[in-house]
Structure 1
Amino acid sequence: MQDHHPRDIAPDALPETITRYLKAHHARDTATAVAAFTGDATVVDDGRTYEGTAAIERWLNRSAGEFTYTIELTGAQRTGTTHYVATHHLEGDFPGGTVDLRYQFTLRDDLVARLVIEP
């Protein structure tokens, strides 16, 4: 359950599962990134929904090669008992060239059950 008073936290205070996923994703280490998700996890990115680890693995592999970009973790929030937001600034060769994205995580059993990525 989300609470109505998000709390800013230090980016290094994000749960280990989220940190492990983000580092693996940035390093294009798909196997480690996928291992951070529950078997029935859902990812919503760019208006598309990916359900289950096989679909998430295909999404990670596709997104890793689609554009070249730099990514910087610029902020973090705890928005509920199992809900966190990691804000990233991206610059690259994608349409628009720069964007700030909110990675909204829902955890279950110390794994990512849901990830929604949106501006």
Structure 2
Amino acid sequence: MHNFEKLKIWQKAMDIAISVYEVSLLLPNDEKFNLVHQIKKCAVSIPSNIAEGSGRNHNKEFVQFLGIANGSTFELITQLILAKRLNLVKEEIIQPIISQLVEVLNMKFSFQKTLKTT
């Protein structure tokens, strides 16, 4: 069992979730129940799955939850790119978040490899 609050990947994922919530305020109201809802859901899913996996009994289970978090990360990147391509949010707002998401992805992949070998 791992203390998720001490994991850098969880901390960074939480920071990203906050950034995404802030960006969602910039999106038009007619997207409130579509893209905004989906973006927020994915943003929350990433640190939530890291936390849930950290509380599992075996590293194999933790790796599985990190994989789910990876899927949510790719989904969120896609949604942010869509918001940018629809001209709902400027690239200079979206790109730093996408860069942070890629960084977290790389960290998760490395962490998964470490957990698989222990």
Q: Tell me if TM exceeds 0.5.
A: no
Greater fraction of residues in helix: 2
Greater fraction of residues in strand: 1
Greater relative CO (CA pairs within 8 A, separation 6+): 2
After TM superposition, the score normalised by the length of structure 2 is 0.28
After TM superposition, the score normalised by the length of structure 1 is 0.28
